[in-house]
Amino acid sequence: MNTHLPTLADMQAAAAVVYRSFQATPQYRWATLSARLGTDCWVKHENHTPVGAFKIRGGLTYFDQLQQRGELPMEVICATRGNHGQSIAWAARLHGVACSIVVPHGNSVEKNAAMRSLGATLIEHGEDFQESREHAMALASARGAHMVPSFHPDLLRGVSTAWWEYFQAVPQMDVVYVPVGQGSGACSAIAAKLALGHPVRIVGVVSAHATTYADSLAAGRVVASPVSTVLADGMACRVADQAALDVLAPHLDHIVQVTDTEVAAAMRALFADTHNVAEGAGAASFAAAWQERDGLQGQVVGTTLCGGNVDSSALARVLGAV
C-alpha cells in the first residue's frame, strides 16, 4: 500500500466529519503529573470520545470515504482487540451497515460487551490478534463482505484530527510519546506534525512484550515477534504492517519499550494525578516519558491517554498493587 498521509486540508475536512459525532477532546497540562515528571506534562484525553478511545475518529472517516465513493457495502468485517472494533461498529451503525467483528479468545470482557452494544456480531477466534485477523480476512472473502483493515489511509484521515487538535493547542511542545499498536496513531501524529510544520519530536512506544515494530524498524523489514503482554492489549501486535513502517522509519525520533510493570505504574500515576482511567495501551505514553524522565527536564512533554477501556477487574488489580 502506498500510504497517502493526510494533508492539512484532509484533516480539516475529516474534523468536520468527526465533529458530527463528538467535539474535539481536551488536552490539559496537569500540574500534579508535571510535578511527578519534573517538567511540563500535557495529556491528550482521547479517553473522552464516545467509545473511550481515539480509534472512533478513523472509523468515521473510513465510512465517510466509502460513502463519498459510492462504495458502502452491505456488511463489514474487522479484527480487533477492542477499540478498532468499537470504532467500526459505531460507524457501521451510523451508516446502516451490518458489522461482524473477530476477537481472540480471552479478549476483554467489557470491550466485547461494548462492541455488542453497538450492534456488532462478535466472533471469537484465535489465540491472538493476528489469528483473529487472518480468520476475519477469510470470512470476508467467503461472505463477500468488506474487510476493514487496521491500517489504511482513510483511517489515518480521522485519527490525524486528534494530533491536529493537540499540536495546534500546544505549539510549544518539544516531544510527544505515541503508543504503537498497528501504527495508525503514530503515523497520524507524523502526518499532523508535517501538515502543521510543528517542530515536535515524535517518540514511538511499544510494549516490551510485543516488539514487532521495534524489531522491524531495527531490521528494515517486517519481523514477526511473539506477544506476551497481559496488560497492554491495544499494543499486542505480532506482525507489523509494512505500510506503517514506511511512514514511521524516517520520522520517529526513536522507540521506547515499556514493560507491563511500567504500564501498570503509569496507570496508577494517571489515576492518582488526573483521576482518569487509562487502559494499558492508554498509559504506555506516560510510562515511556517516565522511563526517560531524566532527559526531559526543561522540555514540554506531550503524552496521550489514547484509551480508557480497561476491564474493571484488571483496573482493580492494578490500583490495588501498591
Domain limit, last residue, from 98, 114, 147: 147
Checking if the pLDDT of 314 tops 70, the result is yes
Place of cell 466485547: 112
Q: Do 62 and 84 belong together in one domain?
A: yes
CA 132, chain centre distance (Å): 18
Rounded Cα distance between 8 and 105, Å, is 40
If one counts every other C-beta atom within 10 angstroms of the C-beta of residue 321, the result is: 11
Task: For 81-121, write each residue's pLDDT tens digit.
Answer: 889 999 999 999 999 999 999 999 999 999 999 999 999 99
**Confidence (pLDDT) at 53:** 97
Burial letters for 217-241: b for 16+ Cβ neighbours within 10 Å, e otherwise?
Answer: beeeeebebebebebbbbbbbbbbb
3-state secondary structure of 135: helix
**Confidence (pLDDT) at 322:** 66
Checking if the pLDDT of 178 tops 60, the result is yes
**Phi-psi bin for 108: left (phi > 0), alpha (psi -120 to 50), beta?**
beta
Q: Tell me whether residue 94 is in a domain.
A: yes
Q: Do 232 and 160 belong together in one domain?
A: yes
Checking if the pLDDT of 286 tops 70, the result is yes
Task: For 14-54, write each residue's pLDDT tens digit.
Answer: 999 999 999 999 999 999 999 999 999 999 999 999 999 99
Q: Do 97 and 171 belong together in one domain?
A: no
Q: Do 284 and 255 belong together in one domain?
A: yes
Q: Tell me whether residue 90 is in a domain.
A: yes
Task: For 255-285, write each residue's pLDDT tens digit.
Answer: 999 999 999 999 999 999 999 999 999 999 9
Checking if the pLDDT of 216 tops 60, the result is yes
**Confidence (pLDDT) at 321:** 81
Q: Structural domain tally of the chain?
A: 2
Rg (Cα) of the chain, in Å, rounded? 18
C-alpha cell at 259: 514493560
Q: Tell me whether residue 100 is in a domain.
A: yes
Checking if the pLDDT of 164 tops 60, the result is yes
**Confidence (pLDDT) at 206:** 97
HEC string of 251-315 equals HCCEEEEECHHHHHHHHHHHHHHHCCCCCHHHHHHHHHHHHCHHHCCCCCEEEEECECCCCHHHH
**Confidence (pLDDT) at 176:** 98
Q: Do 131 and 189 belong together in one domain?
A: no
Q: Tell me whether residue 86 is in a domain.
A: yes
Domain limit, last residue, from 147, 163, 193: 147
**Confidence (pLDDT) at 4:** 85
Domain limit, last residue, from 123, 147, 171: 147
**Confidence (pLDDT) at 129:** 87
Q: Tell me whether residue 89 is in a domain.
A: yes
Which residues contact residue 107 at a Cβ distance below 8 angstroms, ignoring those fewer than 6 apart? 81, 82, 124, 233
Rounded Cα distance between 180 and 236, Å, is 9
Checking if the pLDDT of 77 tops 60, the result is yes
DSSP classification of residue 202: E
C-alpha cell at 150: 487496521
Task: For 125-137, write each residue's pLDDT tens digit.
Answer: 999 888 999 999 9
Q: Do 181 and 281 belong together in one domain?
A: yes
Q: Do 160 and 275 belong together in one domain?
A: yes
Please state, rounded to an integer, the average pLDDT across all residues of the chain. Answer: 96
Rounded Cα distance between 212 and 181, Å, is 10
Rounded Cα distance between 166 and 168, Å, is 5
pTM attached to this predicted model: 0.96
Q: Tell me whether residue 1 is in a domain.
A: no
Query: Smallest Cα–Cα separation from 183: which of 259, 269, 257, 242?
Result: 242
Q: Do 268 and 178 belong together in one domain?
A: yes
Checking if the pLDDT of 9 tops 90, the result is yes
**Confidence (pLDDT) at 2:** 54
Checking if the pLDDT of 188 tops 80, the result is yes
- Residues, the chain: 322
Q: Do 174 and 261 belong together in one domain?
A: yes
Place of cell 503515523: 187
Q: Do 31 and 117 belong together in one domain?
A: no
Q: Do 195 and 247 belong together in one domain?
A: yes
CB 201 within 8 A of CB 54: no
Q: Do 281 and 187 belong together in one domain?
A: yes
Q: Tell me whether residue 98 is in a domain.
A: yes
Average pLDDT over residues 154-163: 98
Check the CA dihedral 277-130-260-317 and report its sign: positive
Checking if the pLDDT of 1 tops 80, the result is no
Strand order in the sheet with 98-103: 121-124, 98-103, 75-79, 146-147
Domain with 271 in it? 8-54+153-320
Q: Tell me whether residue 3 is in a domain.
A: no
Checking if the pLDDT of 217 tops 80, the result is yes
CATH of residue 274: 3.40.50.1100
